[in-house]
Amino acid sequence: MIGNRLGGRYDIEKKIGEGGMAVVYRARDILLNRTVAVKILRSQFGNDDDFITRFHREAQAAASLSHPHVVNIYDIGQEDDVYYIVMEYVEGETLKEYINEMAPLDVREAVNIAIQICDALDHAHQNHLIHRDIKPHNIMINKNGKIKVTDFGIARAVSAATITHTGSVLGSVHYFSPEQAKGVMTNAKSDLYSMGVVLYEMLTGQLPFSGDSPISVALKHLQEPYIHPRQLRPEIPQSLENVIIRALAKDPIYRYESAHEMLDDLKTCLSPERRNEPEYVLPEKYQQDDADITRVIPAIKPEMLGRRSWEDDTVPGPRGVPLDVKNNQGEEEDDPDEHRERHRKGLIKKGVIWAVGIGLFLLLSIVGSYYAMSLLNVPNVTVPAVEHLPVDQARKALEAQQLVAQITEQNDPTAQPGTVIKQTPAAKMQVKQKTVVQLLVSKGKQQTAMANYIGKKQSDIQSELSSYKKVTVDEVTNDQKDPGTILDQQPAPGQQIVPSDTELHLTISKGQDTVTMPNLIGLTQDEMQAKMDSLGLTANVKQVQSYQKQGIVIQQSYGAGKQLTKNSTVDVQVSAGMPQEARKTKVPVEVYLNPGEQADIEIRLTDATTSNETVEKTTINQSTRFDVTCVVSPTQNAIIQVFKNGAQMDQKIVKYTDIQ
């Protein structure tokens, strides 16, 4: 089916679900350029003309609904032997999936979800449309947390077809109303009962009734009480439990009158003035005749009725004349006495047969009653304490008492995976052998799929990294990715993890390989070239005249300490010697001391080659002469400053014109 086009406009893209009635695909409506869901009926329904007529009628009725919490039906169609419905595509998950993952839900969240479902039911009921199959599987939660109820009206069409073909009742038996379990006429109140079961499951994480077979569950809906939610979860307000008690009344007369009434009750059940209201007590405890509550009587089908063969009996005619006596038209007639004798023997034979039959019936009834009593006389046992035990050990402990374990899993951050969090019935309770004990088993902390950080900048995900137990980083050279880009991660994207227990390791690009620019000023050209080669840098050398010694580096295009990528080019200026107009000379500097005096002497030079450079620094204890070499130019005089013990004591200025 994937890749086909239905109705000339719906391109089937992907299978997204299936059930007993249909397979659901994601498709693209090429006419309106939107994503839709296409439900394609299974072949056994497509071959039933009565069903197709009924299905079209109900789907058209459902298509008339327009409500924010109802999945819209856009189109109904047929192509060859394929019948399909086109519906609104809801991107999200079913409420059943959400319950399995998160139950028990927060009280306010559960009430909010129930309000949205009841709002949808109220709209449908006011439009004379009953769902008949309300269950978490038919309720979607989109990615924004909004509730959408699907399959309105379709249940009625499928119900009739299913009963016709198989004699069974449609739907999930765990969410049946008692009247559905009986197979009698249902109405809007059946949807409210199913709504009560859904609310019970959201709040407790378990169903009010369960059993080994659909029949046993249906019987419990009819005749057994359920464990009240507050016994399983005491923090549930009494006002909210009262909503469930009223919705799950076995007799529809004691349920809410309408979805609108239940909706109003849900909207106020968490208000402070109602939270501690008295427990709602049903006016009647359903006192019924035993035959009413312990038997399920199937419909009598024509083939179950016996057919009497009147032709084999000899039936007296009018005035006692046998029908097989020949007429008076010249034919011989039987003797009446002989006929009466035969009739008497026939009656005796039938009497013996009836007596033997009645005797056998009574004998079988006695044996059956004895066997039934032996089955009903089940001994009591004490429920063992299995909370906090590993589930296998808990199961063995229950089996030792001839009890049946039913497992429900739930995330729990405080309990080790595979251990029992809660048991129902509680430990030390007296129950019958073969009783089902509900075990709520921990799946450990909530796991989630590891996010994909590859290709992102570390600075952009800094806030997300705080959710992990530890984050380590390796930086590697990479010529293709900008610095800070994440190249690899462990755990890998998509792997199931518990973030608070996970150590995340990131490999991050630090860009191209870099080197630190050295100081080249003052080095000879050969020394400069050797250093540049060792760092993988290229020197673009330019000879310029200067007052520095020939062959000395006097300038570089990047300052010392600058980070450069390998193979970068650096412009370097090397002295080609002094210009012709430069004049070099030695200037004598006399420093005089008094006899016995000692002083720290510093001489500083500013000329055409340097600025404020210390050319002499020493300690003397007698008068001393220093020769200072300087270079002057037409635009730059030489200034010689003499400092004694830190204080300037003399200064000489040598002009260009002073030197011959």
Q: What is the DSSP string of 608-629?
A: SS-SSEEEEEEEESS-EEEEEE
Task: Return the SS3 of 238.
Answer: helix
The whole-angstrom separation of Cα 468 and Cα 240 is 38
Q: Which range in 51-55, 160-164, 274-278 is most confidently predicted, on average pLDDT?
A: 274-278
Residue 344's pLDDT band, with cuts at 50, 70 and 90, is low
- Whether residue 300 has pLDDT greater than 50: no
Q: Does residue 265 have a pLDDT over 80?
A: yes
- Unique residue bearing structure tokens 């919705």: 247
- Residue 414: both structure tokens together: 């405080």
Question: What pLDDT shows up at residue 171?
Answer: 43
- Identify the residue with better confidence: 413 or 122: 122
Q: Which range (262-271, 286-295, 372-381, 650-659) has the least confidence? A: 286-295
Query: Greatest CA span in the chain, whole angstroms?
Result: 194
Tokens for 135, please give them.
């269950």
Q: Taking each helix axis from N to C terminus, what angle separates 107-126 and 259-268, rounded to the nearest 10 degrees?
A: 160
Over range 605-611, report the average pLDDT.
89
SS3 528: helix
**Cis-peptide into 104, omega within 30 deg:** yes
527-562 in b/e form (b: 16+ CB < 10 A) is ebbeebeeeebebeeeeeebbbeebbbbebebeeee
Per the CB < 8 A criterion, the answer to whether 239 and 436 are in contact is no
* Domains 448-509 and 583-658 agree in fold: no
**Out of 170-184, 229-243, 288-302, which region has the weakest mean confidence (pLDDT)?**
288-302
Q: Is the pLDDT of residue 266 over 80?
A: yes
Q: Which residues contact 260 (CB under 8 A, 6 or more apart)?
A: 122, 126
Judge whether residue 296 has pLDDT over 50. no
Instruction: Indicate whether 434 pLDDT > 60.
Output: yes
How far is 611 from 640, CA to CA, in rounded Å?
A: 11
In contact, 608 and 581? CB cutoff 8 Å? no
**Separation between Cα atoms, residue 356 and residue 335, nearest integer Å:** 32
- pLDDT for residue 472 is more than 50: yes
Q: Which of 247, 251, 244, 249 is nearest to 229 (CA)?
A: 244
Question: Cβ of 305: how many Cβ atoms within 10 Å?
Answer: 7
The fold of 92-284 is: Transferase(Phosphotransferase); domain 1 (1.10.510)
Q: Can you give the pLDDT at residue 325?
A: 34
pLDDT score for 214: 85
Strand partners, 85: 39, 76
- Count, in order, helices (H) and strands (E) of the chain: 16, 30
Its pTM surpasses 0.95: no
Q: What is the pLDDT of residue 21?
A: 74
pLDDT of residue 582: 84
| CATH architecture, range 583-658 | Sandwich (2.60)
What gap in Å lies between CA 150 and CA 148, rounded to an integer?
Answer: 6
Greatest mean pLDDT among 12-21, 39-48, 249-258, 366-375 lies in 249-258
Between 19 and 463, where is the model more confident?
463
Structure confidence at residue 309 as a pLDDT band (50, 70, 90): very low
Phi-psi region at 434: left, alpha or beta (left = phi > 0; alpha = psi -120 to 50): left
Q: Is the pLDDT at 330 greater than 90, yes or no?
A: no
Domain ranges of the chain: 5-88, 92-284, 380-442, 448-509, 514-575, 583-658
CATH number for 514-575: choose from 3.40.50.300, 2.60.40.3080, 3.40.190.10, 3.30.10.20: 3.30.10.20
Give the active site residue among 119, 122, 133, 265.
Answer: 133
Question: 448-509 is classed in which CATH architecture?
Answer: 2-Layer Sandwich (3.30)
Contact 205, 240 (CB under 8 A): no
The torsion region of residue 241 among left (phi > 0), alpha (psi -120 to 50) and beta comes to: alpha
A 10 A CB-CB count for 377 gives 8
Catalytic residue check, 133: yes
Residue-wise pLDDT for 125-163, tens only, equals 998 888 888 999 999 999 888 999 998 756 554 444 443
pLDDT for position 580:
76
pLDDT band at residue 305, thresholds of 50, 70 and 90? very low
Query: Which pair of structure tokens corresponds to residue 379?
Result: 């001994």
pLDDT higher for 332 or 227? Answer: 227
Query: Is the pLDDT at 655 greater than 60, yes or no?
Result: yes
The whole-angstrom separation of Cα 322 and Cα 328 is: 14
Fold of the CATH domain 380-442 = Trypsin Inhibitor V; Chain A (3.30.10)
Mean of the per-residue pLDDT values for the chain? Answer: 83
Spatial distance between the Cα atoms of 535 and 568, rounded to a whole number of angstroms: 10
Q: Is the bond preceding residue 425 a cis peptide, omega within 30 degrees? A: yes
Q: For a pLDDT cut of 70, what percent of the chain falls above it? A: 84
State the average pLDDT over residues 475-501: 90
Pick from 76-85, 300-309, 367-376, 449-458 the range whose average pLDDT is largest. 449-458
392-413 confidence digits (pLDDT tens): 999 999 999 999 999 988 888 8
Residue 226 has pLDDT above 80, yes or no: yes
CA gap 16, 36 in Å, rounded: 11
Determine the pLDDT at residue 58: 65
- The closest of 220, 138, 133, 214 to 170, measured between CA atoms, is 133
Residue type for position 444: G
> Residue 337: pLDDT band by 50, 70, 90 thresholds?
low
The angle, 0 to 180 degrees and rounded to 10, between the axes of the packed helices 259-268 and 238-247 is 170
What is the 3-class SS of 325-392, one letter each residue? CCCCCCCCCCCHHHHHHHHHHHHHHHHHHHHHHHHHHHHHHHHHHHHHHHHHCCCEEECCCCCCCEHH
* pLDDT for the residue numbered 331: 40
Mean local confidence (pLDDT), 71-86: 87
pLDDT at 86: 92
Query: Which class does domain 5-88 fall in?
Result: alpha beta
Bridging pattern class, strands 470-476 and 503-509 = parallel
Give the pLDDT confidence of 544-583 residue by residue, as tens digits: 888 778 899 999 999 999 988 888 999 999 998 878 788 8
Cα→Cα distances 641→594, 610, 614, 615, Å: 20, 13, 9, 10
User: Residue 341's pLDDT is what?
Assistant: 63
